[in-house]
Chain A
Amino acid sequence: MTVYRCEDSLESVFTAIYLAYEEKRDHMDTCISLTKDPILFAEDVYVMPDQEKMNKVMRSLYRIFGEKDYMSLCMALASQDMGKAQAVYRTVVNGLSARCEAGHLFDNLSNDEVHRAFALARGVGREIGHLREFIRFEELKNGLLCAKINPKNNVIGFLMPHFSDRLPQENFMICDEQRGIFAIHPAGQQWYLFYGGEQELELSFALSAEEQEYQELFRYFCHKIAIEERKNLKLQQGMLPLRYRKNMTEFLHNK
């Protein structure tokens, strides 16, 4: 058995998939691992992430399976689940050997590995969907809009296209506090990711003069729009899980 040992990144996992094909491995006897857990009687291969190999794999997957399924694979790899690399690898192997056409990579859900990757992508997709809804920007003194998130999965890169499209002329930034990743969108330009601490960004998080007023207006609006006779906190919680609320304006009180 061959085990490709990867780090937790798209680059690394896609490089491993490239290698598995290039080195003509028996796919049933090969796996990709993101952990250091030893596997008995296995030959460990440490993968050096390689941008060119990654690009080749990504382009092929995109071409063969279509945009939607390709995105699902990428989303699965953003999951916090460490079995994701293996699930994605096997799904790709399954799709290529069954000659799945674009949009049909995840048809075969009775296959466990395919289902696993599908479920991971769905979970990540759900969190992306939630954050699109629940992210709250605050306006800082210099006009920059800043949002903080604490997602389970590494979704920041999936959020940026959405917000860049809708706020093209704003300077805005999303910070994944746990992972220390900052996604930055300068007005009118392409967004990029920045890894590191807040110090390096030299940011002051002081709010603009108007910010407080709009926060208050929105809180008041949320309060007024509810119908007392229909009060149903359980339903509210089902739709808006508690874990998001610590970064949401309407659930915070005056600072």
Chain B
Amino acid sequence: MEYLNVGQDLPLMEKLGILANSAKYDVACTSSGVNRKGNGVDMGNCVAAGICHSFSSDGRCISLLKILLTNECIYDCKYCLNRCSNDVPRATFTPDEICRLTVEFYRRNYIEGLFLSSGILNSPSFTMELIYRTILLLRRKYRFNGYVHVKAIPGADPELIYRTGFLVDRMSINLELPTAEGLRTLAPNKHRKNILTPMRQIQNTITENKNDLVLYRNAPAFVGGGQATQMIIGATPENDYQILSVAENLYQKFDLKRVFYSAFVNVTGDKQLPALPGGPPLLREHRLYQADWLLRFYGFRAEELLDEKRPFFNVLLDPKEDWAVRHLDQFPVEINRAPRELLLRVPGVGVKSANRIVAARRNANLTFVDLKKLGVVLKRALYFITCSGRMMYPVKLEEDYIVRNLTEEQERIRFGNDGMSYRQMSLFDVGSFDQPVTVTDKIQAAAGQL
């Protein structure tokens, strides 16, 4: 295959700068989902929980060497730095450069592996083949056994996607925008169908492969860490309910491992894009992640959290608190008796603490002091629980009262002087709250403890 034109002979440092910079808006970059012990010969293993290696100045985890193979692109997606009509420096890595960087970074414990995406060079299949060859080289010649996540290029030959799948731990195809409508306006060269078809292909092959693995233990694994995708939030006018329903659908119908949400950052200044003077919609993104967690680990359904009449998340309360105050008839929950599913619905009780409660109450009748030891956040839980029939303080089971208390002490959001309590946020004003997401929120979200 002919390999390449411009931007090849830049110094490595410069290429890395350009191609990391162009990859940074991709958020689907954890190293999770696969447990693979080392084989004693090759370099690398994988840990299912994923390992972060550093955190950049925006507080996001650096786990993988996240780069594009090239930022050349024949497409013209309006939101993208690399769109062909944009005048930016272009660069392209050689496969050897990518392999060397991956291996040398890995042995120094900088990274968990490689995340490789790419602009579309010549054609989708041409690009996919380059990706395939790079990973083949990394696995065979450089004998790298760590985590590899690649983007499948929509519209590429299915055979190439199939072959690549056997070399990588995770594959993802970006949905880009939550609806077909949004895609049409902002990414005219992409079509919803071209995105969903390979997504389905990967899902089907994963299922077949699982059956093969049952039959033949040594069959090679296909995308062992599962499939992921991401959506850009706030570039198009979809509401939270639509977005969350799309995510739920992807989990249920496409068996995705993760759906990621990426608060839109306006880097091209295109007229069709919202200006976002207050910065990217971070709070909105945060609420979506919280809700996503509730779907995956807490047994909630999208339509329980939002509906046509309330299509946006509450700015002040996290989605679980919001649900709880609207369902006070289901509370208080008795800690010493309630089934695990119900415990999981109590604000301030995470998956771990719910499990610990279930284990600990076999030995003793639990008190509020015990709950603290079990990791329950009493500040939030106390309105919704009893221990042996008693509440912690005499509190009113009343919506306004609880909301006031929950929001007062948290002070997690600074908001305008209108003293709003239930104002729904309009689409683009979320960014006007500065840095609403607290560290503990993020850590708790990361640990699945909402």
Contacts and interface: CB of A to CB of B under 8 A. Distances in A.
Contact of B373 (A109, A221, A250): A109
Contacts of A108: 360, 363-364
B61 A239 contact: yes
Nearest to A210: B104
Interface residues of B, number: 62
A168 B443 contact: no
A222 B67 CA distance: 12
Interface in A120-151: 132-139, 145, 147
Interface stretch (B10-18, B206-214, B236-244): B10-18
Contacts of B105: 214, 217-218
A217 B56 contact: no
A167 B107 contact: yes
A240 interface: yes
B116 interface: no
Interface in B357-400: 359-360, 362-364, 366-367, 370, 373-374
Interface size class of chain A, counting residues whose CB lies under 8 Å from the partner chain: 35 or more
Contacts of A248: 54
Contacts of A224: 16-17, 20-21, 24
Contact of B57 (A135, A221, A226, A249): A226
B44 interface: yes
B20 A235 contact: no
Contact of B58 (A111, A170, A210, A236): A236
B56 A107 contact: no
Interface string B1-29: 00000000000110011001101110000
Contacts, number: 166
Interface in B395-450: 435, 437, 439-440, 442-443
Contacts of B356: 107, 109
B25 A227 contact: yes
A221 B16 contact: yes
B59 A238 contact: yes
Contact of B439 (A98, A226, A238): A238
B107 A229 contact: no
A199 interface: no
B442 A238 contact: yes
B271 to A, nearest CB: 19
Contacts of B60: 226-227, 230
User: Which among B24, B39, B54, B366 has the greatest number of chain A C-beta atoms within 10 A?
Assistant: B54
A235 B62 contact: no
Contact of B110 (A139, A163, A167, A218): A218
B363 A166 contact: no
B41 A169 contact: yes
Contacts of B66: 225
A216 B12 CA distance: 11
A115 interface: yes
Main secondary structure of the interface of B (DSSP, over half): loop
Interface in B76-134: 101, 104-105, 107-110
Contacts of A98: 363
Contacts of A104: 359
B432 to A, nearest CB: 14
Contacts of A132: 51
A137 B108 contact: yes
Contacts of A194: none
A166 B265 CA distance: 37
A145 to B, nearest CB: 6
Given A107-B360, A170-B107, A226-B24, A239 B55 contact: yes
Pick from B57, B62, B356, B374 the residue with the most CB of A within 10 Å: B57
Contacts of B55: 235-236, 239-240
A220 interface: yes
A240 B21 CA distance: 22
Contacts of A170: 43, 107
Interface in A192-240: 210, 214, 216-218, 220-222, 224-240
Given A170-B107, A226-B24, A227-B58, 8 more contacts: A108-B364, A134-B53, A168-B42, A169-B41, A230-B279, A234-B435, A235-B442, A239-B52
19 contacts: A107-B359, A110-B366, A145-B107, A165-B37, A167-B107, A217-B12, A217-B101, A218-B110, A220-B17, A225-B24, A225-B56, A227-B25, A230-B282, A232-B59, A232-B437, A236-B58, A236-B59, A239-B439, A239-B443
A-B pairs with the 7 shortest C-beta distances? Answer: A235-B59, A238-B439, A226-B56, A230-B58, A107-B359, A165-B38, A110-B370
